[in-house]
Amino acid sequence: MRLFAAVYPTRAAREHLVSALREVRELTGTALRWGDPEQWHVTLGFYGDQPEGAVPDLAEHLSGVARETAPFTSCLRGAGSFSGTTLWMGLGGQAENMVELMRACSLNEDERARQRAHLTVARMSRAERTRKAREQRRRSRTIARPSPELSEVVHALSVYEGPEWTVSEIRLMASVLGEGRGGGALHQEVERFPLRGR
């Protein structure tokens, strides 16, 4: 099983972002492959392929983190790109609480050090990545640069701020590759852990 821990924005927060993205989606045509809003999430910890027997240990770990973490507010704010190929939305509200939650959920020291709280909404399509790679080779450049279309989208979304929602639970999720909409991953809930704090 491919497992990860996540926080999911509320339906209202996702619908607000969907509305904001309508106009900017027209800028990109088919250059970006947009994620399914029902599966948009903030990854707290990625555990990769695990045997089914690992679920109880992960559940115990996440349950402990949830017991120690009080609910907090978050919102989607601003945008950016990773390597010029992935469009993400940043987080506002009590963003430092989200980063602390990510650190607590992570099992890997290296991952803890480089985490950035974000929600991925789109990736450059395979055809567009191939075209950009050919163009880059032709120009003999080694530094990845965002496509003009992605740069425009990031710029347009840089002032975005969605409604606040309360982060009140951690979800342990399984990711089934190739089973989701458009051949992407399908995320299936394994277990939920309500945040309780002390």
Helix or strand or coil: residue 93? strand
What does the pLDDT profile of the chain (198 residues) look like in tens digits?
889 999 999 999 999 999 999 888 776 666 788 888 999 999 999 998 998 888 999 999 999 999 999 999 999 999 999 888 899 999 999 999 999 999 999 987 766 556 788 999 998 865 544 455 555 555 555 555 555 578 888 888 999 999 999 999 999 999 887 665 655 677 899 999 999 976
| pLDDT (0 to 100) of residue 22 | 87
| pLDDT (0 to 100) of residue 52 | 83
Q: Which domain holds residue 39?
A: 2-194
> Which residues are within 8 A (CB) of 157 and not within 5 positions of it... i.e. 6 or more apart?
20, 21, 24, 78, 79, 89
Helices (H) and strands (E) in the chain, counts: 6, 9
| pLDDT (0 to 100) of residue 41 | 95
In the chain, alpha helices (H): 11-28, 55-68, 95-105, 109-114, 126-139, 148-157
Q: Rounded to an integer, what is the distance from CA 165 to the centroid of its chain?
A: 16
Instruction: Name the maximum alpha-carbon separation found in the chain.
Output: 58
Instruction: Based on the residue annotation, tell me whether 118 is a catalytic residue of this protein.
Output: yes
CATH code of 177's domain: 3.90.1140.10
Question: Whole-model pTM?
Answer: 0.82
Helix or strand or coil: residue 116? coil
Instruction: Dihedral sign for Cα 190, 182, 9, 96, please.
Output: positive
Catalytic residue among 41, 61, 155, 187: 41
Beta bridge partners of 92: 75
Tell me if 171 sits within 8 A of 7, measured CB to CB.
yes
Q: At what angle do helices 148-157 and 11-28 cross, to 10 degrees?
A: 140
Instruction: Based on the residue annotation, tell me whether 155 is a catalytic residue of this protein.
Output: no
| pLDDT (0 to 100) of residue 97 | 94
| pLDDT (0 to 100) of residue 112 | 57
Structure tokens given for 157: 């979304």
| pLDDT (0 to 100) of residue 108 | 77
Structure tokens given for 115: 């985490």
Catalytic residue among 16, 61, 118, 187: 118
> How many domains is the chain built from?
1
Structure tokens given for 161: 């701020």
In the block, tokens 């099992």 appear at 107
